[in-house]
Chains A and B, each alone.
Chain A
Amino acid sequence: MSAEELDDVAAPAASGSAAPSGAGADVAAAVSVRDLRVEVAGTRLDIVDGVSFDIPPGEVLGLVGESGSGKTTVGLCLLGHVRRGATIAGGSVIVGSRDILQLDALSLRRLRGRTVSYVPQDPAASLNPALRIGAQLLEVLTVHGVGDDRPARTERVREAMREVALPDDDAFLRRYPHQLSGGQQQRVGLAMAFVCRPRVIVLDEPTTGLDVTTQAHVLQTVRELTQIHGAAALYVSHDLAVVASLADRVAVMYAGRLVEQGPAAALFEDAGHPYTRRLLAAVPDLRQPRALEGIPGRAPSPGHRPSGCSFAPRCLLAIDECTAAVPDEVVLGPVHSARCIRTDVVRRSARVASMPASGTPLVDAAPVLAASGLRIRYGPVEVVHDIDLQLAPRECLAVVGESGSGKTTLARTIAGLHSTRDGELTLDGTPLAPSSRGRSREERRRVQYVFQNPYGSLNPRLTVGDSVRRPLRLLSVDDAEARRRVSAILERVSLDGSYARRYPDQLSGGERQRVAIARALVCEPEVLICDEVTSALDVSVQAAVVDLLAELQRDLGLSMLFVTHNLPLVRAIAHRVAVMQQGRIVETGPVAKVVDEPQAEYTRRLLEDTPQIEAATD
């Protein structure tokens, strides 16, 4: 079966006319998925079940979900591919007029890269480190027989590079992947995906790990390319804000099922499924301070999915009928549907009202932590320059910046983990030694640190109880007292007594982060430094953790230094914010003021480039 036969969809108009969006009903879909089911190999446990959707040419469908929802699996199925340990067990994926799940190996191979192509999540890992990028682009064309000869193909490659705003000269094409920045690598990935003018593109979280600004550029490029070439795009992501700014329609996945799909605006403003609503409530809002709400419990993994609606165990609106059978799709609008029997109740409930988040700082008191003229070096190179910073008692100060800004270096230096520095750093007026080993016990007790990666911050060989207990060595407490304190602090972070005996590998990411927080708080510090503590967590889990931190900050009167790259998150927890760029603080001030009236050019740009759900659906 030839590539031409696969292309027998009526070709959409070339550049100049964008395909109609949101009008899927009367335009033949570029790709149609029906009842897709993927199982764990060798079992009947479903990873993905009953997934159906259409994507018309020129439209972007955002596929949203948290970890374990199966969204990446669905994306790969559009190429007839499935990862080791899984098998496609049923359903159809129709591209053109052929079901690609029924294709033989040769036809499938011809399809990939030519009719349906893929943009992977991690560009650094997906480009062959041993081949020049020009060669990697060229081989897609060569293998699919596009272009008559090599010069024609090379010209196509150059054209593709120009489309993604990369240099098209020989010198650049001769580079190896590691000689490109993350953003450039991702654009090469995009170029490779579009070079054969495919009908369908699957983009798998392609902006994860990129700076906000780079991300904005890449999203812009994706938008342009899909419109120019009239391709249908499936944009898989966990980031609702990004999806809001890019997608025409959105589909939400939970525990392997599609729970809601519809036009972006309709879905974000008037969602019909409880999970969608809860998810939206968990996304931080840049415009107003709002308590974030997490979703208690965790998503069921394959094999542990309950009968009936899989969200029912965590749903506040669940009734008995919900667990009886998997809900059918309820139509909410022309192309809007949700799998819930209580959509009427869902839509009647108002959006979560804004609530003040954290406690009130003592602004008139002397700062508990102060840095003056702080300069931090790595070897001979100075990476953080001339920092002046004050943290008032009971205040939460957010430090915001992109990667390379020096915010983590600053945080680690304050904690004493990094010691090559000049300048002054004081705790309640008393200078702090650069290294934690040079500080007194009292000083170490008073300043505590929570790390980013929940998988790395707990010793896998110690029980939760033992890990939380270790900081108590700074105080002289006996065993009984220690055990009491450990239980108390675990309760405080909403982990019951049984957790003390468990090991980290039995806990989820969110639970581990709570343990890390408990460990930091067990000896009652005054200053808590949180370094990107939610960056590795799902949106709903992030919301719960930030909510917890805000509550603790309020109730325990903590002074908190909250380091993050996620600007909207700052609104949910911090009083003041310091914006860092390339090792300097470019702006400081109350959160509301900095966000609504940014003074620095960098801050303005950062705010512009940060995708927002509300902005996109206005």
Chain B
Amino acid sequence: MSNEAVESATVSTVAGTVAHLGTPRGGLLRSALRMWRTRIGLLCAGVVILVAIVGPLIAPHDPSEFVAAPYAPRGDGLLFGADHLGQDVLSRFLHGGRSILILSVLSTVLGVGGGVLVGLVSAYARNALDDVLMRSMDVVLAFPQLMLALVAMATVGPKGWLIVLTVGLTTLPRVARVIRGAAVPVVERDFVGASETLAEPRLRILAVDVLPNVTGPLVVETTLRLTYAVGLVASLAFLGFAANPNAADWGLMIQENASALTVQPWGTLLPVIAIAVLTVGTGLIGDGLARASSGIDRGRADG
């Protein structure tokens, strides 16, 4: 129906065509890596991830340490000046990536893991179970992810586990739709029918026959969802809903220093650039993977 068309169309958009059944073993990653866009994407994302992970170890100051007057400009041992409280921008920046990374990765794992399960089961069942599952997914899809996260935080407040839960659970139906869309043509193929004549256990059929043949869309969708998860977690922090309001957090930094954009831009610009580079990087990787997985489909037999 409507959302399904959109989701498969979204994958199509990224892929150019709907990803092909059965990508060659290992060939997907290799052909994706051959493209310059994937490599640049890996570089971008890699650098930012490195900064986020290693940052706290190399930061010159403690992120909550007051080192200068608020909004002190660059210089004086402060590479990027001081923020709205007088803390070192660079140190806060180096400390601020971990939280976003951890939360987005966890929520993506939750969303993709659950979505794959639901999508596969739904595609294979193709009966009442399929209808029930997909209608339930439709309800969740009826809301923007950000809104649902905010609503959930209205009473509980911004807790890390809640962020992971809401972002993950709102990602789940989107992944489920895409995986189901990719799995249905696989399920209709005769090799699944061959396994059914042998009456192999259903889980085995899903694991051996169906899942390996949707790895193309799966990998693409995972990078897509990771990109959005980073965006969502950062947006939540920007709106004031960071998991830990006292710790350094890129989204929070942006919000805190946004008003001083004219005076001391670095407090805002550093994290903005980092988030931008990270998301563009994962986006490029996803695009490269999508092209690799659909590129295998090219090449018609000529008569």
Contact = CB atoms under 8 A, between A and B. Distances in A.
Do A and B share a direct contact in the complex (Cβ within 8 angstroms)?
A: yes
Interface of A: 47, 65, 67-73, 83, 85-86, 236, 415-417, 436-437, 439, 444, 448-449, 451-453, 456-462, 467, 470-471, 473-474, 503, 505, 516, 519
Contacts of B194: 449, 451, 457, 470, 516, 519
Contact of A72 (B22, B189, B195, B302): B302
Contacts of A451: 190, 193-194
A519 B193 CA distance: 13
Nearest to B195: A470
B58 interface: no
Given A457-B194, A458-B191, A444 B199 contact: yes
A328 to B, nearest CB: 26
A72 B25 CA distance: 33
Contacts of A415: 197
Contacts of B22: 459-461, 505
Contacts of A417: 193, 196-197
Contacts of B208: 459, 462
B200 interface: yes
24 contacts: A68-B301, A68-B303, A70-B302, A83-B300, A85-B300, A86-B302, A417-B193, A436-B198, A439-B199, A448-B197, A453-B190, A456-B190, A457-B190, A458-B191, A459-B22, A459-B191, A459-B209, A459-B212, A459-B213, A461-B213, A470-B194, A471-B198, A473-B200, A503-B24
A329 to B, nearest CB: 24
A526 to B, nearest CB: 15
A459 B197 CA distance: 15
Nearest to A73: B302
A451 B188 CA distance: 12
A65 B301 CA distance: 14
Interface residues of B, number: 23
B303 A456 contact: no
A207 to B, nearest CB: 15
A456 B190 CA distance: 5
B24 to A, nearest CB: 7
Interface string B181-212: 00000000111011111111000000011001
B21 interface: yes
A148 B212 CA distance: 61
Interface string B19-31: 0011011000000
Interface in B1-60: 21-22, 24-25
A532 B301 CA distance: 22
6 nearest CB pairs, A to B: A460-B22, A72-B303, A451-B190, A457-B190, A461-B212, A456-B190
Contacts, number: 82
A68 B190 CA distance: 25
A451 B303 CA distance: 24
A65 B303 CA distance: 8
Contact of A68 (B25, B199, B302): B302
Contacts of A503: 24-25
Nearest to A452: B190
A517 to B, nearest CB: 12
B229 to A, nearest CB: 28
Contacts of A437: 199
Contact of B189 (A65, A456, A471, A473): A456
A417 B196 CA distance: 7
Nearest to A438: B199
| Residue of A67, A71, A436 ringed by the most chain B CB atoms within 10 A | A436
A69 B191 contact: no
Interface string B49-80: 00000000000000000000000000000000
Contacts of A459: 22, 191, 208-209, 212-213
A474 B195 CA distance: 11
A182 B85 CA distance: 75
A67 B190 contact: no
Contacts of B212: 459, 461
B31 to A, nearest CB: 14
Contacts of A467: 191
| Residue of B21, B195, B197, B213 ringed by the most chain A CB atoms within 10 A | B197
B302 A444 contact: no
A316 B200 CA distance: 45
Contacts of A473: 198, 200
B301 A67 contact: yes
Given A70-B302, A460-B213, A461-B22, A470 B190 contact: no
A507 B255 CA distance: 59
| Residue of A68, A437, A452, A453 ringed by the most chain B CB atoms within 10 A | A437
B24 A436 contact: no
Nearest to A516: B194
Contacts of A439: 199
Contacts of A519: 194
A73 B303 CA distance: 7
A7 B194 CA distance: 57
B197 A444 contact: yes
Contacts of A456: 189-191
B125 to A, nearest CB: 14
B30 to A, nearest CB: 15
A574 to B, nearest CB: 22
A252 B198 CA distance: 44
B200 to A, nearest CB: 7
Nearest to B296: A505
A47 B208 CA distance: 39
A516 B189 CA distance: 14
Given A456-B191, A459-B212, A473-B198, 5 more contacts: A68-B303, A72-B303, A417-B197, A449-B197, A452-B190
Contact of B302 (A83, A462, A505): A83
Contacts of B25: 461, 503
Contacts of A448: 197
| Residue of B22, B196, B198, B302 ringed by the most chain A CB atoms within 10 A | B302
Contacts of A458: 191
Contacts of A67: 301, 303
Contacts of B200: 470, 473
A436 B196 contact: yes
Contact of A505 (B24, B196, B301): B24
Contacts of A470: 194-195, 198, 200
A403 B22 CA distance: 29
Contacts of A86: 302
A69 B303 contact: yes
A467 B199 CA distance: 15
A220 B22 CA distance: 43
B198 A444 contact: yes
A448 B190 CA distance: 13
Contacts of B24: 503, 505
A99 to B, nearest CB: 24
A106 to B, nearest CB: 28
Nearest to A463: B25
A461 to B, nearest CB: 4
A512 to B, nearest CB: 11
A420 to B, nearest CB: 12
Nearest to A458: B191
A43 to B, nearest CB: 14
Contacts of B209: 459
B293 to A, nearest CB: 13
Contacts of A69: 303
A459 B302 CA distance: 24
B139 to A, nearest CB: 28
Contacts of A416: 197, 199
| Residue of A83, A452, A458, A470 ringed by the most chain B CB atoms within 10 A | A470
Nearest to A450: B194
Nearest to B212: A461
A453 B189 CA distance: 9
Contacts of B301: 67-68
Contacts of B302: 47, 68, 70, 72-73, 83, 86
